[in-house]
Amino acid sequence: MTGLRKGLLVVVSGPSGVGKGTLLERLLARREDCVFSISATTRAPRPGEVEGRHYYFLDPETFNDWIERDRFLEWNQVHSAYYGTPREFVESARARGQHVVLDVDVKGGLEVMSAEPDCVSIFLAPPDLEALRWRLRHRGTENAEQIAGRLLVARSELKHMDRYAYTIVNDELERAQTQLEAVLEAEMARTPRVIADGQVHALFGPDLEPVLPNSEGP
């Protein structure tokens, strides 16, 4: 009998303006098996951002209260505001078999990787820094000083790219999306995951277990 498959925990990081939000919105529109983990933040909403859809917009006192009550899987200060991943949603959605997608900065990403080693870590990289600058300007949600700050942070974030299992270059959106979905499909097919999910029982029957990875085989 096939057990309920635990959903993947998908960590996506990359510099501000690279296109994380755009790419993930497209993924979520196409895939019913993926859900976005809505973060909490102390920053003000941008025009068009909706409470409980893009973020939970908290005041600093409430954010601190959530930290003290251990309600975050990870949290960090990014670009002078606080951001955190609510733990409870991630755990319950994965238990329901949904793939939970996080959009977190590099420090948050590294924290999740150490807390949840079986997560799927993906770095979204720009084709070059000029494209990143252009995208930030074009988005028009930060002033020149803020854009300069984000480009500075981008340089240090790019240095940690090698800590991520996958790097997707967001040059052309359609191609990046195809690659992202290919990564998810490949991760679902990893042998330890297929065995842990109990899917092979349907193939072998209850009396004939497959040899587990790393065990002494013939």
Footprint of ligand 5GP (CB under 6 A): 16, 39, 43, 74, 76, 78-79, 83-85, 103-105, 108
Residues near ligand ADP, by CB under 6 A: 14, 16-22, 135, 138-139, 170, 172-173
Residue 83 interacts with which of ligand ADP, ligand 5GP, none, CB < 5 to 8 Å by class: ligand 5GP
Which option in ligand ADP, ligand 5GP, none does residue 7 bind, with CB closer than 5 to 8 A by kind? none
Question: Reading across the β-sheet that carries 34-36, which strands appear in turn?
Answer: 34-36, 99-103, 9-13, 120-125, 166-169
The dihedral through the CA atoms of 91, 94, 96, 99 has a sign that is positive
In the bound complex, what is the minimum distance in angstroms from residue 74's beta carbon to ligand 5GP? 6
Q: CB atoms < 10 A from the CB of 7, how many?
A: 20
Q: Which lies closer to ligand 5GP via its Cβ, residue 81 or residue 95?
A: 81
CA distances from 161 to 12, 22, 79 (A): 11, 20, 19
Q: Of 76 and 98, which CB lies nearer to ligand 5GP in the complex structure?
A: 76
- Cβ neighbour number for residue 150 with a 10 Å cutoff: 19
Residue 101 neighbours by CB distance under 10 Å = 25
The entry of ligand 5GP, ligand ADP, none that residue 104 binds, CB within 5 to 8 Å by partner kind: ligand 5GP
Task: Give the C-alpha separation, 21 to 210, whole Å.
Answer: 41
Provide the minimum distance between the beta carbon of 18 and ligand 5GP in the complex, in angstroms, as a whole number. 9
| Shortest Å distance, C-beta 116 to ligand ADP | 22
For residue 124, the cross-strand partners are 168
Q: Which is nearer to ligand ADP, 22 or 199 (CB)?
A: 22
